[in-house]
Structure 1
Amino acid sequence: MNISLPQLVQRKEDNVMATNLGDELVMMDTQSGNYITLNDLGRVIWEKIEQPISVNDLTHYLLSKYNVTEEQCKTETYAFLEKLQTQGLLV
């Protein structure tokens, strides 16, 4: 499934343990045993998707926070969300 602007996204926390490690957020999927390390941007997105949010609102928030082009923001946000989705970390 491809991510789209009007789509609502929310993180799935049922099987995820997370801890801060320096500037990164390290998460473990307790079901699969996979570890995921998020940089600052990944952590910001993870925090914003605690509650349902549209991809459009998420990208607008990120554009207000970071000095990037809209195209770059959308491309990187879509890629990150699709990675989370592939790993079963989105509701």
Structure 2
Amino acid sequence: MSNTSDGGNGFKINEELTWRDVDDQMVVLHLPTGKYYTFNEIGRVIWLSLTENKAEEEIIKIIIKEYEVSPEQAQKDIDHFIAGLSASALVTRE
């Protein structure tokens, strides 16, 4: 599947990416370089939430419900994951 988030949630996904669900993981390909990124199950949930323009607060609620973690841990995990996405130029904050 390949589409772009238009930033309705404060994030913009790099338009040069395509992605696909593979066995409860997300595989993301940067088309110009051919570089692959693989996200674990939680990373997959966060990525899909970003592509669906879900707000960060909504993503936190999803992580808390699905993985039975504290709000603080969910926020920390999401912040860490998004920082990695930003550092790799996969998403930008708007």
Q: How large is the Cα RMSD of the aligned pairs?
A: 1.9
Structure with more relative contact order (C-alpha pairs < 8 Å, separation 6 or more)? 1
- The answer (yes or no) to whether the contact 1:27–1:37 under 8 Å persists in 2 is yes
Give yes or no for contact 1:25–1:38 (8 Å, CA) kept in 2.
yes
Residue 11 of structure 2 corresponds to which residue in structure 1? 10
* TM-score normalised by L of structure 1: 0.75
Once the two structures are aligned, what percentage of the paired residues are identical? 21
Number of residue pairs aligned between Structure 1 and Structure 2: 84
CA distance, structure 1, for counterparts of residue 78 and residue 67 of structure 2? 12
Question: Is 1:16–1:27's contact at 8 Å kept on the other side of the alignment?
Answer: yes
Gaps of 5+ in 2: 1-8
Corresponding position of 2:45: 44
TM-score by length of structure 2 reads 0.73
Structure 1 segments unaligned to the other structure (5+ residues) = 1-7
